[in-house]
Amino acid sequence: MSAGPDRHAELSADELRDSAGLRNLALSRSEVDRSTARRSDAAWLAAAWVDPGTRVLVVSDGQALVRSGDGPAELVFVAPQQAPEGVRFLLGTDADGVVYFGVDGSLPLPDAGPVPGAGVQPISLRQAGPLLSDRDAGLMTHAVALGNWHEVHTHCPRCGAVTEPELAGHSRRCVVDGSEHFPRLDPAVIMLVTDPDDRCLLARNALWPERRVSILAGFVEPGESAEQAVAREVHEETGITIEDARYVGSQPWPMPHSLMLGFRARATGSLEIKVDSDEIAEARWFSRGELRASIASGEIRLPPPVSIAHRIIESWYGTDLGGAW
């Protein structure tokens, strides 16, 4: 039997498992149409804003109000007339025709503002994402991402003058030179590297507490492809050379404005790890059995299930894993 066809058969099985394992990433879900064609339709936007059925999600510093109690967790919306001052952006329209806006402003505190109710509190996207429905997870991820951008991109990078929101909050324009500026995303790669025995490489960032480990990650640099960034980051951080970097899925991570691009890659050549001690405190290879035992003994803890890192590790491991931070 030749190695060629076998190798391809294995790759296909891996790919199938990866694509199945990375469905429904907590922050990659949505149910609301973004209504992009309406962003420049001033009359439609004005009518939607005075419609009492319109729902507004207020976000502030990456948080929104979430109601959690006996039932599933849900976002707390306000009507447009109850919305605070702040940058407004169109989030979209659901299947029933309900229009959703976001406002980056002061959260209407449950005990002082227009929103009643026990069990309502401000929660970060990281905490709320896994608890919310597809609709609410998508709305909050979109709103937090735009809110984070507006909060720090108030001035023109060309001339320093003030910029003003346009396109229903999806761009900003300089009041002096007229230049248009779109929301910034910082693409980052995150990759699970395996050796020829299918052990996976986990590392502890130098800034993390003892016992926390994850797969390697880093920002894509200007003029670099995602695949090149995977190879560069793995080599810089651990001295390992990789081949066959393969995309497995992505998740927005607006904390404050990343897009995480998930990869699998194979180590080639020497498996001896030489950590870059500025960034990585320690790194080692784990078989599935070693990973299971290390989690059970409390020797290591994995990133939380909301992260794409957790899901990529699970997709390699083959089933759900506990032991999260």
173/235 with CB nearer Zn ion:
173
Q: Give the SS3 label for residue 125.
A: helix
Of positions 7, 8, 23, 158, contacts Zn ion by CB under 5 A = 158
- Say whether 315 sits in a helix, a strand or coil: helix
Q: Which two tokens stand for residue 309?
A: 């890192």
16 binds Zn ion (CB under 5 A): no
One DSSP character per residue, 120-152 reads EEEEEHHHHGGGS-HHHHHHHHHHHHHHHHHHH
Residue in 13, 46, 161, 162 binding Zn ion, rule: CB under 5 A: 161
Q: Which is nearer to Zn ion, 109 or 175 (CB)?
A: 175
Closer Cβ to Zn ion, 154 or 225, answer by number = 154
Which residue lies nearer to Zn ion by CB, 13 or 162? 162
Question: Looking at this protein, which amino acid is placed at residue 166?
Answer: E
Distance, CA of 127 to chain centre: 12
Other residues' Cβ atoms within 10 Å of the Cβ of residue 161: 12
Among 10, 134, 177, 244, which residue interacts with Zn ion (rule: CB under 5 A)?
Answer: 177
**Residues paired with residue 172 on neighbouring β-strands, in sequence order:** 165, 181
Q: Which stretch binds Zn ion (CB under 5 A): 148-156, 202-210, 232-240, 279-287?
A: 148-156
Q: For Zn ion, which is the closer residue by CB, 158 or 211?
A: 158
Long-range contacts of 40-43 (CB under 8 A, 24+ apart): 40/167, 40/168
Based on the shown chain and the rule CB under 5 A, indicate whether residue 175 belongs to the binding site for Zn ion.
no
The stretch among 55-63, 124-132, 156-164, 226-234 that binds Zn ion (CB under 5 A) is 156-164
* Least CB distance to Zn ion at residue 149 (A): 17
Note whether 103 binds Zn ion by CB under 5 A: no
Q: How far apart (Å, rounded) are the C-alpha atoms in residues 191 and 277?
A: 19
For Zn ion, the closer of residues 69 and 157 by Cβ is 157
Site residues for Zn ion per CB under 5 A: 156, 158-159, 161, 174, 176-177
